[in-house]
Amino acid sequence: MPELFSGDDAAAVSALRGAVMRLSRRLKNQRVDESLSPTEMSVLGTLARRGHATPGELARKEHVQPPSMTRIVAMLEAKGLVRLEPHPDDRRQKVVTQTEQAEAMLDESRRKRNAWLAELASGLDADEWAKLRAAAPVLEKLAEM
């Protein structure tokens, strides 16, 4: 893959990568349920955003092999965090949806992580906070690409 940026831009990309990785690791440590892996939490987050998905769709979205997703869904179902329902158009498939228990856990997790991040952001000055607010939609776009 060719290098897209050079000089100051390459340094900015490197700094952004490092900062996002460190911040992500620190956010992951603010978990509510320590028994769930980051991938399992990510699956629940995907279901919260999408409403429902087939195991194959989840595997593609989470970048895992379908057999791995089958095991993840089975574990989440055993914990009462997801339900498997018949696919409306294809009887060979199932649709995975989150339960109210998962929704409550995700809400609590978001509150905890938001509070932690707000505490960090309170150390920023007004100019830094304005820049961070302006960057949020751009970071969201990068996360969805």
Which residue shows structure tokens 């018949």?
A: 86
Which residue shows structure tokens 């992580």?
A: 113
Q: Are 47 and 97 in contact (CB under 8 A)?
A: yes
pLDDT in tens, 74-107: 999 999 999 999 888 888 889 999 999 999 999 9
pTM assigned to the model: 0.73
pLDDT confidence of residue 97:
95
Which residues, 6 or more positions from 43, have their beta carbon under 8 angstroms from its beta carbon? 58, 62, 69, 72, 73, 76, 82
pLDDT confidence of residue 3:
63
Cα separation of 88 and 127, whole Å?
Answer: 51
Reported confidence tier of residue 1, pLDDT bands at 50, 70, 90 = very low
pLDDT in tens, 26-80: 888 887 777 888 889 899 999 999 889 999 999 999 999 999 999 999 999 999 9
**Residue 135 buriedness (CB in 10 A; 0-12 / 13-18 / 19+):** exposed
Q: Which domains does the chain have, with CATH numbers?
A: 34-144 (1.10.10.10)
pLDDT at 137 over 90: yes
Cα separation of 132 and 122, whole Å?
Answer: 12
Which residues, 6 or more positions from 116, have their beta carbon under 8 angstroms from its beta carbon? 27, 30
pLDDT at 6 over 80: no
pLDDT confidence of residue 22:
93
